[in-house]
Amino acid sequence: MKRYAPYIVFALMAVLPFLGLSTYVMHILILMLMWSVIGMAWNLLGGYCGQVSFGHAAFFGVGAYTAGILYFKGGVSAWWGIPLSIPILVVEALIIGFICLRLRGPFFALATLAMGEVFRVTAENLRNFTQGTLGIMLKERTWVEKTWYYYIILGLSLFTFLVVRKVIQSRLGYYFVAIREDQDAAESLGINTTLYKTIALCLSAVLTGLAGAFYTNYMGYIDPEVVFALHDISIVTIMVVMVGGVATFWGPVVGAVIMVILAEFIRSLPRLGSAHQTLFGILLILIIIFLPNGIVGDFSKLKRIFGFGRRS
């Protein structure tokens, strides 16, 4: 049954647009799915391989700007940014990996954070291609209704889930986990840790960048402060995974649902809307203290707390 669970869940989600949902609800669902993709991509690198990245905005932004520049400079549909961003993202990941994967632990995290900022500043200064801080706007939207955007990101999220599950259940996944648990021991067993960390980084970068390319087409406008944002992209991505459950298949999905709903709820409050980042930080601290493995990872603990696991 567990094997078919993702197909059942996504099949049920495919029916939702036929229920006459409002435009706002459809927008929320699209954001949930997009953040699920980003969270699952980060989880592959940070959760399973143990390489905690604070610079995933670099991949999201490059994917977004690949689509935007194709439209702005190439005069073609921004949807071409989804397939054409893949080789660009691989090259970007190889460059970042060459610089950062020599480092471990907090040094790797800080290096990726710095690389994310380097890409943001670069995008701001390459005005001939990116229009700098003015950003790129798509003058023509593919669809007015959100239904097709929903199905595209639903398909991308299913694809990402299956890719991550296939990788983790393969020999490659065992190598990732071995590196996470003890890199020195993995190397002593003959595992080429640099190679497999690079593979994890490339896979994570591509999946994150695909979400960025979708974002450009969906939102219709991008600028460096938005798509390369440290707080709104890189940090929120980590929070999505930590809230849902690090190194779990469904954790990023659950985390994305909770974070998007919470963000929209907080923004709707007149006095607390501007303090949503602070409230997110408080939530993360509470999760770390009481549910260190996230909601999915500590689900049995939650059942005991709320009495669902008691026998009559």
Reply yes or no on whether the pLDDT at 86 is more than 50.
Answer: yes
The predicted model scores a pTM of 0.95
Condensed to tens digits (0 to 9), the pLDDT of residues 14-71 reads 999 999 999 999 999 999 999 999 999 999 999 999 999 999 999 999 999 999 999 9
Measured distance CA(41)–CA(163) in Å, rounded: 10
- Provide, rounded to the nearest whole percent, the portion of the chain with pLDDT above 90: 79
Residue-level pLDDT at 40 = 98
Residue-level pLDDT at 309 = 56
Residue-level pLDDT at 273 = 59
Residue-level pLDDT at 197 = 98
Residue-level pLDDT at 227 = 98
Residue-level pLDDT at 284 = 82
Mean pLDDT of the chain: 93
Question: Would you list the domain boundaries of the chain?
Answer: 2-229
- In the structure, what pLDDT confidence band is assigned to residue 310 with cuts at 50, 70 and 90? low
Reply yes or no on whether the pLDDT at 169 is more than 90.
Answer: yes
Q: Mean pLDDT over residues 91-113, rounded?
A: 97
Condensed to tens digits (0 to 9), the pLDDT of residues 205-243 reads 999 999 999 999 999 999 999 999 999 999 999 999 999
